[in-house]
């Protein structure tokens, strides 16, 4: 019972991380368009969801020449965590049988 719950939780968390990855991609792509009003909906919600995570990496890597390279590090960390959680979910699902 315990390992199946952990596996189910890990799978749900891995799905959340994948959805968050897509939101980050959308946020980065929209940042290329200067006419996007980040104060109007749905852009304000997208910004509120993704900016705290990206700000962690913006404090580590400042923009160089007006280009923000911090999302690259953010994507890398998110992918590593997602892969780890997916491995835990797969291990738990395999050990449940």
Range of the domain at 64: 2-95
What is the count of structural domains for the chain? 1
Under a CB-based contact definition with an 8 Å cutoff, are residues 82 and 14 in contact? yes
pLDDT at residue 64, rounded to an integer = 85
Query: How many whole angstroms separate alpha carbon 44 and alpha carbon 1?
Result: 41
Is the entire prediction scored with pTM above 0.85? no
Residue 62 Ramachandran class (φ > 0 left, ψ -120 to 50 alpha, else beta): beta
pLDDT at residue 3, rounded to an integer = 63
pLDDT at residue 74, rounded to an integer = 92
Tokens linked to 28 = 């980065």
The pLDDT tens digits along the chain (97 residues) read 556 777 788 888 888 999 999 999 999 999 888 898 888 889 999 999 999 999 999 888 888 888 888 899 999 999 999 988 888 877 776 665 5
């Amino acid at each position: 019972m315990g390992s199946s719950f952990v596996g189910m939780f890990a799978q749900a968390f891995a799905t959340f991380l994948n959805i968050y990855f897509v939101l980050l991609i959308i946020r980065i792509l929209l940042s290329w368009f200067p006419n996007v009003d980040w104060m109007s909906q749905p852009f304000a919600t997208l910004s509120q969801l993704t900016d705290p995570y990206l700000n962690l990496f913006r404090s580590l890597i400042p923009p160089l020449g007006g280009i923000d390279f911090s999302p690259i590090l953010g994507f890398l960390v998110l992918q590593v965590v997602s892969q780890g959680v997916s491995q835990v979910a797969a291990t738990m699902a395999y050990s449940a049988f």
